[in-house]
Amino acid sequence: MAHPSQLGFQDAASPVMEELLHFHDHALMIVFLISTFVLYIIVVMVTAKLTNKLILDSQEVEIIWTLLPAIILILIALPSLRILYLMDEINDPHLTIKAMGHQWYWSYEYTDYEDLSFDSYMIPTQDLTPGQFRLLEADHRMVVPAESPIRILVSAEDVLHSWAVPSLGVKMDAVPGRLNQTAFIAARPGIFYGQCSEICGANHSFMPIVVEAVPLEHFENWSSLMLEDA
């Protein structure tokens, strides 16, 4: 959960998000070293009174400043490609959920069950109870079993939306007439918040996403109650 004046990412709640955080730190350190090196060169060039003629025309220096950026780019590209393939991998999901974007709410359909679907609307500010978050709480949460691979099929009924939960490392566009898919594993039980991340009209800010990860036994009890109510 993000908090005011937070500078970094939210705490990772899935293996993919942990990998993304590690890659972010890796790339940021490379950027920091390059920036420091460039700043040092600028300061030296401005303050030095003498010029070394061997640096002005040197094949060795040209080779170094050609090879070094190439090596740095490889050090960034290889882990980046690895994470891209990890994010695209969907290994035998235990549960498939179809998320449909509407103006301006989400509807969820648990496709492994015969009749388990519901709409999820934002709870108005005046109806919030103590401890609930403004603009982030929904009247129906998307409940999933923790430590299980979940596949999300994302689409929209009217305009472009985007289903995004930062702490799970998930963000997928919802396009009318197209079915996109993504996957995640909630590493621990908890409640994870997200919002529509594609400007979709007047109430774009009022489309929260609430994912509640619970132990498998609790999920089975919840699904049984939902089916009975249906």
DSSP string, 107-167: EEEETTSSS-EEEE-BPPGGGPPTTPPTTT-BSS-EEEETTSEEEEEEEESSS-EEEEEGG
Q: pLDDT tens digits for 55-72?
A: 667 788 888 889 999 999
Q: Two tokens at 127?
A: 């109806």
Positive or negative, the Cα torsion across 164, 205, 139, 159? negative
Residue 136's pLDDT is: 93
**pLDDT attached to residue 230:** 63
Query: Pseudo-torsion of CA 58, 63, 64, 70, nearest 10°?
Result: 150
2.60.40.420, 3.40.50.300, 3.90.1150.10, 3.90.45.10: CATH of 95-229: 2.60.40.420
How far, in Å, are 2, 181, 205 from residue 196 at the CA level?
Answer: 16, 16, 7
CA dihedral sign of residues 153, 158, 162, 163: negative
- CATH 1.10.287.90 range(s) for the chain read 15-88
State the first-to-last Cα distance of the chain, in angstroms, to the nearest integer. Answer: 32
Task: Using DSSP, state whether 176 is helix, strand or coil.
Answer: strand
Q: What digits encode the pLDDT tens for the residues 159-218?
A: 999 999 999 999 999 999 999 999 999 999 999 999 999 998 899 999 999 999 999 999
| Domain 15-88: CATH architecture, name and number where available | Orthogonal Bundle (1.10)
Q: How confident is the model at residue 2 (pLDDT cuts 50, 70, 90)?
A: confident
Q: Where in the chain is the domain with CATH 2.60.40.420?
A: 95-229
